[in-house]
Structure 1
């Protein structure tokens, strides 16, 4: 069918309608749109022949070569239109140059491709045998996705004389089957019936679906339950546990189904007290204990039991149950504690009374006899008293709170009745052991060794000692003080103070390593008990060196004390000639006293060189006529501390003719001898001081060795590769041997030898380099 028209500025439109059966394959042709519209198929591509708007665009496509409308994919009417009739799909097709809009409607025709289907393949019905004929039972309708005559049209029921089928026609739900009873049912003849319901559609040939119908014939409740016994009597011990099944009643019913199912219950006349003691299982008839049974309260119970069926009108039967209670040993002993001391001192003597204990049993005669006992692994025991069933709890050995601070004592009372097993009671009492001041404070270390850097800030905490006391409360509160003996000549102990609360130790003055290297004092720790106890510990303090001494220039030194000197050398000297040597020392040790020399200023760098380790100034080349007659050298001497300290010396080198040099040599030698004599005097004083310090150190070591033998390990080990103008020795311990390390300035070598003392005080000595005193050697004795 084609309809057409023209509107608005020559926009052409037409309408076409096609019909096609569902289930067409992908690519099936619907119709030639170009041909039906009279459009030349050769211009379709140029004019943009296409589908532009549609309700079913994805289901169809047009070919721009021939103008044919094709099916995209499988075309299923039930999926596209569900139950709509007719199933119409609208398409809009456009062309350009000139613009044309054409409307295409595709009518999808239904085919009988679905069979009727019941949602339930089986249906169960229960119909009482008392139901009268004419009763109607509506069944679920079958569903068929097809439409029109291809949908469900009729139902058929398998052959039976009791039922027939009737069909109700409903617009939306289709045709609904109704099962109608034609003849009364008899359970005694037929208990169960099976029928088959068939649904047919109107297709050619028709398709069908089936549902199995199972009908159970229900019985009429015409028989009452009957108990199996005429009377029920039960013997039961008192104190039977709650939840115990004591008996089971049984009743039967000749009916079937719910009419034969028995429900058990207590009779209507049973009071609330009995309902708290007993209960009956409604299904099994088991009687269960739900409360405490006590022979002393009641020894016999009468209970009415009721059995009912589950008929529409239930039938009921009653029966009486007698329960007799038997007496047993059901009362455990009781423990009573009087005059109880919850805490006793740890220094209590054996035999000290802790508590009075009495036991009893509510049972009579033999069941009332009770014994009481304690665990064996505690320092307590029970002493029977003159009164029956009364005991005294006493100590049997010494107590120590620091080992065990409390005892949880479990008392056990057992009766001696003939029951099996005997009944027992337990009671736990806690005995606290109170503290007595019987422990002295104990220091965490003994002795202490601390290392303090010299030049410490007075009043600042240096270190701390700590002591603990195993006692409790005030007995464990520790206070500290420094032992100061009026006759003690240890002046350094007076420079130390201690915080009495926390053991923090403070210095009242700043220490100087060059004055003292080690001292010791005693700290006393005292608790706050009554009477108080105390202990003491030795504290060894080792002073560590700090780079606090500036290098001192020994040579050159002018008459006014400044580090300045004048050296005269002949002009004809060769390269490598020793001009002079700068000599210096540093009172510090180790890296802090290791001196290095460097040229800060020189008039001609090509003429003079300085050995950074020895301080020797030598010529680097021969003098020429053009060289100046006087040269100024500024030498920097610095140590190797973290923050190095330095000093400077000035050497004026005058270049003279050889004759002048010989003339002035005698005068110069005389001056040098005086200077060397002065330097030698100072060196002798220094070596004497070092010897005295070394002797004092040996004496202190001997005293300490005799007093206590404790190993210490060094915290301040010096580098033995010392390269200054000083000589240092450091003694240190390794295993069971002592080593003494010596560092020399000129050779920059080190030497170690065993040294077998227990303590390792370190000392320092200093000398000038070998060129200062060629005859000087150091010897270290073990």
Structure 2
């Protein structure tokens, strides 16, 4: 193999040399004579360089200098008077020149991929005069390529997809390789592709590397292929170098398979005490398609005992859940037969059927949970009725006994409920992670036949956080700004907090409403570390003109979706003194700033008005009291006392109330009026023991006539005004009305 590679390499070099040999470059350069030459000979002599093509084969092991080529000038008479000098890239280290003959040799191994050519300069000098006989000339030594680099694939690893049942020739993907060798030199960099593994399902285009489907593929037979692709240089000839790569091709599913029951006949058991709607059993049809293509719907054919049971499709497990539709009785009937049907959800032509035999029996064994404890998670944003997880308990005897699930309803388990038939836990209340992160509940599994057989298992439910709390300002003290503040001066730094987890809500951003940012007295600068700085937006503030400012702050979190809150800050203007320090502002209190605003004058005026009003009221009251004392008219009132509870009508006594006046006026006692013994009291009348209606009417008429004839008693519809508290009272009159004015006549008092 190694000899064949060397032979191929030397053949390529020989071919290249034979192609380039006729292209020997002869260059004539104009020799610029020196001043001495012009003096010696006034005739310009045309000189010229000539040399062989200069090439070096890469990767040659150099033990002794290897001849590359020769430079010579037509001025050289071969008498030893000309000295050749070499300059440029690698001169003296990689390349050397014989100063007598101009022969150039290489001293070390070269690599074309590192440097494909070298640019050098040569000069011919007269040994005696040390004057150049030829102008300095530039030439190139080219490094010839050999096939010493294997091709490499780009963009590895390769992963592609193709749908099953794709027609032949369908493009799958393309692999691309590159070769560092010289693409212009022979076939060293000409690549060809081939498949070492993956046929006959796939093929590859030899030049482009495009992989195509070569035969029909079935995902249900094989859903992934490892295709090994090889690339060779030198168009695959002898001595070519190669490399391989693996292309992983995933086969995508199409809906081309019908559901298939694992059994033709299913045996199930139900206890006779089961209620309508209880779980009977589950059937499962397998669809070898995947994803949506494997979804199916279950139904019961209308034959046999189909009306005794219902079947529904569990969207999570794709099982057919059979429930009881009518009550069963073990003594009446012990076996039922139904035919269930499973058909593809999106193609009803794809279906399968099976027979279900349901036996009625009793088993008195406690259920056993499949796991010792359960761990579940649910986001706090889950709506009421959201599915959390399922627990499963089986009968240890291996019989299909109906099992009921329940939750021991303690305080911490109230947000959850469990489906009594299939053990599915779902929410019945909204969750809040900030209130409770973990919920520990105890689930019971009870045999439907015998409630005494109960098993318990602990279920730990973790509430996952969502961004449902808006950020709020934190630790907000009184904020002051000095009257002598300048624009852009720091006022206060505010911070925010959020009940949500930091990874959901941080960082916060602070801003002002657009309508306030254009004409604001203060500005907010977001520090991008969950804090913001309040800066002044004007020069100077006045506590007399405007002692308070209100600044609206909008805080947004970084959650999805983003939540925000709006807070209004109160900034108080303070006379910070000579040192312009706000530390003393809080000690003065708010009353200091309020009084500074001119409120002292308003308070003083208000107090003065109250004093004047009180003085006027006092003078008015004294005047009314004096007028009443000077008037000699008696104001009297009768107090009628009925004292007939014990039987019999007692005389009514009139009491003189002149003693309530400051100046007592004696009143003549009136003769005692005769009493009517035939008139009973109102209490007796209420008991139905009173006189006749005619007698009572006569009594009222007499009283009315007597009242009309008495001129010393005020009319009943007259406004009675009591101007005095009573004899000896220091308070005086409490009434705002006065009947003792001198312009009130005696007739007016009665009428």
More helix by share: 2
* TM exceeding 0.5: no
Q: Normalising to structure 2: TM-score of the pair?
A: 0.29
- Report the TM-score when normalising by structure 1: 0.28
